Amino acid sequence: MPELIGLTPVTFVTGCGPVFFVFKKIFHKISTFCPDFEHISPIKSLHLRKRDKQKMIAGPKTLGRIGIRKGVFIMRNAIRYTAGALGMVTVVGIMNPLTVLASSNYAMQKKVVVAAGILTRTSNEMGTITRGEFAKMLVQASSYHDSIGTETGIALYADVAADHPYCNYIRVAAEKGWMTGYLGGNFKPDEPVKMLDAAKALMTLLGYTNDDFTGNVTMNRMTKFNAIGLNEDVGKGISDTLTWSDCVHLFYNLLDTNTKDNENKTKTSSTVYAQVLGYKLTDDGEINLLESLKSDLKGPYTLSDGEHISGIVPFSVSDASFYLNGEPSTKSQIEDAADDGVCLIYYNTKSKMVYAYSEEGTTGEDGETQMGAAHGNLDAIYYGSTDIMVPTSISLDGEIYYIDSSDMQFAFSVYGSLEIDDNISIVWKSETDSDGNEKKYVISYAD
């Protein structure tokens, strides 16, 4: 259900009276019955159109339709012209909307590239990326992402041993022409990767070759790289080194860009590079992370005292990312939580992400919403007075949990497979109603 979040009034006091500009941050709350989407879904993120080509005159009512960043730019110019016409302007209170929007855009892009397995979460997002790390990112962003094994690799360069952690990734990146070594037979895997390296690699992934550029191939490739928007939000020069956050933007832009074969076509799910990894676009032209993750999600599975996650997931836990009740976590923390009570486990085979929900639950980022799991006897199923076929709540070991999704309504109805006195586990989400009462809603179950 769409909802408006936050109004930031910008008041300009002039001799002609106050002028108000209101920036509305609008986002869509995505409904889903898969509990892992709480931390990765854009429920609290802005969906920003990347390259909106519409030609419109921006006002507060049309801002949401023209592309937010472009709208803010136009409105800021409008503010400048208004100020010039009215004379001296004193700004009473203003929050820079560009900072807020850029931050929200980055958060959404980060979720996509991390969930896709291209980047691994880090505590130092401004840290410099090495050439070896970038080679791994390229492979993870390609159709070869599932072909890299853990066995000892084949050394192609004198300074990359066969047991080097990035040996296999560097070999693939070199063989496919995404990256090249240096004179003397070295790759220099520990040196920082530069924007020039990234431009060549990403353009090659899109299908471009040296034959597509005449004259100064390097500079003409860079010009094309910028023209098709691969440098959007990066802000680095050709010789600048790249940080982890720069790579977030670069690889999101790659996913959201047409391949060479589709260069002159309208951008769709079948024309953008994202289709290589099985991703599609939303109606707004952004990467549809939710739909892709949902299709690859497995679970729920019950993790009990003394059991290990490695016995549930089909991939190495050393390659996995973990979340507990919607928050970043570790394998040990999840298994410790299972020792104190049942945990429900979901995993995504493509991104190698593991999502766990414990009986204890966890407070969300907003300080209010909680998620967790519960296990017990299904004491009762309650129905509303207006529709005796649709369940509205259940009792599990004496505690009431509400139902408001069609999937859960069906599961607990007479048409579903659950019955009174079944021993089940559920994933719940807590919300506070308009009267200040906290309610727990069932969003998934395992019997």
Alpha-carbon dihedral sign for residues 188, 320, 242, 144: positive
Mind listing the pLDDT tens digit of every residue in the chain (447 residues)? Answer: 222 222 223 333 333 333 333 332 333 333 333 333 333 333 222 233 333 333 333 333 333 333 433 343 334 343 333 333 333 333 323 333 333 334 458 888 888 888 788 988 677 899 999 999 999 999 999 998 877 766 667 888 999 999 899 999 999 999 999 999 998 999 999 999 999 999 999 999 999 999 999 999 999 999 999 999 999 999 999 999 999 999 999 999 999 999 999 999 999 999 999 999 888 888 888 888 767 666 678 888 989 899 999 999 998 888 788 888 877 788 999 999 998 888 899 998 877 888 898 887 766 555 555 778 888 999 999 998 777 789 999 999 999 999 988 888 888 998 888 999 999 989 888 888 788 888 899 988 887
pTM of the complete model beyond 0.75: no
Angle between helix 217-227 and 195-205 (nearest 10): 70
| Cβ 63 vs Cβ 71: under 8 Å | yes
- What pairing do the DSSP bridges indicate for beta strands 321-324 and 353-358? parallel
The pLDDT, as a whole number, for residue 149 is: 65
Which domains can be identified in the chain, with CATH numbers? Answer: 2-103 (no CATH), 131-278 (no CATH), 297-360 (no CATH), 370-446 (2.40.50)
